[in-house]
Structure 1
Amino acid sequence: MKNILLFLAITTTVLFTSCEGDPGPPGQDGVSFLGQVFETTVTFNNGNNYENLVSFPVNIEVFESDAVLVYHLVETVSGNGGPIDVWEQLPQTYFVNQGTLVYNFDHTFLDVRLFLDANFDLTLLDSGFTNNQTFRIAIVPAEFAQTKPSMEVLLRTIEMENSQIEKLVL
């Protein structure tokens, strides 16, 4: 009997002494992070060496640790609720009559360079690949980018509608 009382006394003491301290602020349910998306339309040509430098808008702060994802609008298809945009994440490779064409990008925490790369003379390329090409540029925390999300998943995660995306005019 003494052993049981001793056990209960020790257990009660440990239980009440382990519940000390500030519990901290309450957390948020679900996924929550700061992500930004903006859109731009560019033309690639010999005059700009088939590249465009896009500076981040002043209202978007980009950190060196952030990941930059770029999506290319490749077509619009019909849907029950209206047109649906089809986005492909860069880099994207196309095999055209002239050879191999790649839409690609690189970035700093200040800007994104969108460019075409090919194993042929880009002046031979059809204007459908170069004129008025629309891109969405997303800045997200690096750990989220590891999942390589589609544009739809990205927008749903950051709780952003297509109508809220800032469109840059270059």
Structure 2
Amino acid sequence: MKYSYTKACFALLILLSSCYSSTEVGPVGPPGPQGPIGPKGADAENAYVFEWENVNFTAPDFEVILPYPDNFEGYASDVALTYLLWDTYTTDDGEVVEVWRKLSQSIPTADGMLVYNSDFSIYDVRLFLDAEFPLTWLGADDTDAWVVRVVIVPGDFWNSGRVDFSDYQAVAKALELPEL
């Protein structure tokens, strides 16, 4: 019995040692030949960006609907990213820097939480406010003269995972959006 056990352990040892792989990586080989060129795709935009100025959240609903331009055709697979111009500051060099925040934004106030939010369809974006207190308590600083940017991202790019969509500057760079 002892002899069989020793044989089995020895066979197992040989079997397991043959599965060893080194983590060392060898030198990079020469580049291979270029693959065939694929068919040319249709010319298209990566994304679209629209901007609205002086957007006001007015009573009684404290919402606003921003329709897309007439010459824009949305698709069910598109995703609309909505940003509010939250702040600006001037650098030591005199450059004015815009600070954009992606909706939704939850803001704690003395009266409770205030939420700037949005939803979208293939035709428009709806911005709305929600709060733990009556919205009529809000002042003009909270509701008036907002600048809104909406970026329409094609569904295939949205699923690529290539960019942080909460950062407007990263989205603008990745999608090659025009300066507004």
- Please give the TM-score of this superposition, normalised by the length of structure 1: 0.72
Give how far 1:81 is off: 5.5
Q: Name structure 1 gaps, 5 residues minimum.
A: 1-21, 164-170
Give how far 1:124 is off: 0.5
Show structure 1 runs of 4+ deviating over 6 A. none
Give how far 1:25 is off: 2.7
Letter in 2 for 1:25: P
> Contact 1:73–1:134 (CA<8 Å) still a contact in 2?
yes
Q: Which residue of 2 aligns with 1:17?
A: none
> Contact 2:164–2:170 (CA<8 Å) still a contact in 1?
no
> Contact 2:114–2:131 (CA<8 Å) still a contact in 1?
yes
- Separation in 1 of the partners of 2:158 and 2:105? 17
1:69-93 Cα distance to aligned partner (Å, 9 max, x none): 0011110011236101000111010
Q: Which residue of 1 aligns with 2:67?
A: 55
Aligned residue among 77, 99, 102 for 2:115: 102
Label 1:90 to 1:119 Cα distance change in 2 as closer, same or farther (>3 A).
same
Pairing 1:76–2:88 present:
yes
Label 1:45 to 1:34 Cα distance change in 2 as closer, same or farther (>3 A).
same
> Contact 2:46–2:176 (CA<8 Å) still a contact in 1?
no
Label 1:23 to 1:45 Cα distance change in 2 as closer, same or farther (>3 A).
closer
- Separation in 1 of the partners of 2:100 and 2:178? 15
Q: What is the alpha-carbon root mean square deviation over aligned residues?
A: 2.1
RCO greater where, 1 or 2, for CA within 8 Å and sep 6 or more?
A: 1
> Contact 1:40–1:134 (CA<8 Å) still a contact in 2?
yes
Report matched runs for 1:34-45 at 5 Å.
34-41=46-53, 42-45=55-58
- Separation in 1 of the partners of 2:64 and 2:105? 16
Pairing 1:91–2:108 present:
no
Q: Which residue of 2 aligns with 1:24?
A: 38
Give how far 1:98 is off: 1.5
Q: Which residue of 2 aligns with 1:119?
A: 132
- Please give the TM-score of this superposition, normalised by the length of structure 2: 0.69
Structure with the higher fraction of residues in strand conformation: 1
Q: What SS class does the counterpart of residue 71 from structure 1 fall into? A: strand
Aligned length: 137
> Contact 2:47–2:177 (CA<8 Å) still a contact in 1?
no
Structure with the higher fraction of residues in helix conformation: 1
Same amino acid, percent of matched pairs = 35
Pairing 1:154–2:171 present:
yes
Q: Name structure 2 gaps, 5 residues minimum.
A: 1-35
Of the two, which has the highest radius of gyration?
2
* Greater CA drift, 142-151 or 91-100: 142-151
